[in-house]
A and B are shown apart, each in its own frame.
Chain A
Amino acid sequence: DAGITQSPRHKVTETGTPVTLRCHQTENHRYMYWYRQDPGHGLRLIHYSYGVKDTDKGEVSDGYSVSRSKTEDFLLTLESATSSQTSVYFCAISEGQGLYNEQFFGPGTRLTVL
């Protein structure tokens, strides 16, 4: 299995509080992604990174920011959590620039915003 961990695995927080989710990889892969998974929507891309300090927005980026200061860590921050951000968040990594590289997924973080 690819070495991807996510922390925390579960979190309950209140509306308006800041939340940071961490994705850590030991594979030295260049590309990292944050997705959210919701019933009826499937997985959707929030943000992605194509290198240290290089990030870009995905399909559902409003209300989220990311940072990548080291190859191995990709942080997802909810500056002021809302109930609509209750979801399961998955991190994924991909090795190279080629179009055919697999994505490997972390175990997920279940976030509940009350």
Chain B
Amino acid sequence: KNEVEQSPQNLTAQEGEFITINCSYSVGISALHWLQQHPGGGIVSLFMLSSGKKKHGRLIATINIQEKHSSLHITASHPRDSAVYICAVRSGVRGGADGLTFGKGTHLIIQP
């Protein structure tokens, strides 16, 4: 069973700061997902990656397969980025049909 650890659990920062959220997992994976959950509860997929780096707007996700580690960065953070960020991995068993294993999430608050 894959163990997914996120750090920090909670993060409060000022608007404009560069934010980094980390994710480590214990077993080799086929893909890693970063998700965002807003206070209203809805979950949105931000990135899915299996190697290297992806960028979308102010968000950047990187993964190091050898070190079993991924980071999510937010540049020029804004109060609307306040949310819970969740890392999840897919191990590849049964062709990936068997769902994701999730970290417990990082609760991010960006203060104006």
Contacts and interface: CB of A to CB of B under 8 A. Distances in A.
Interface string A63-105: 0000000000000000000000000101010100111111111
Interface of B: 1, 30-31, 33, 35, 41-45, 48, 50, 86, 88, 90, 92, 94-105
Interface residues of A, number: 29
Contact of A88 (B33, B41, B101): B41
B45 A99 contact: no
B102 A99 contact: no
Given A102-B45, A102-B48, A108-B42, A42 B96 contact: no
Contacts, number: 71
Interface of A is mostly: strand
Nearest to B6: A42
Given A56-B94, A99-B30, A105-B43, 18 more contacts: A40-B104, A42-B105, A43-B100, A43-B102, A45-B101, A48-B99, A50-B97, A99-B31, A100-B31, A100-B48, A101-B48, A102-B33, A103-B33, A104-B45, A105-B44, A105-B45, A107-B42, A108-B41
Contact of A107 (B31, B41, B94, B105): B41
Contact of A90 (B43, B97, B98, B101): B43
Interface of A: 31, 33, 35, 40-45, 48, 50, 56, 58-59, 88, 90, 92, 94, 97-105, 107-108
B92 to A, nearest CB: 5
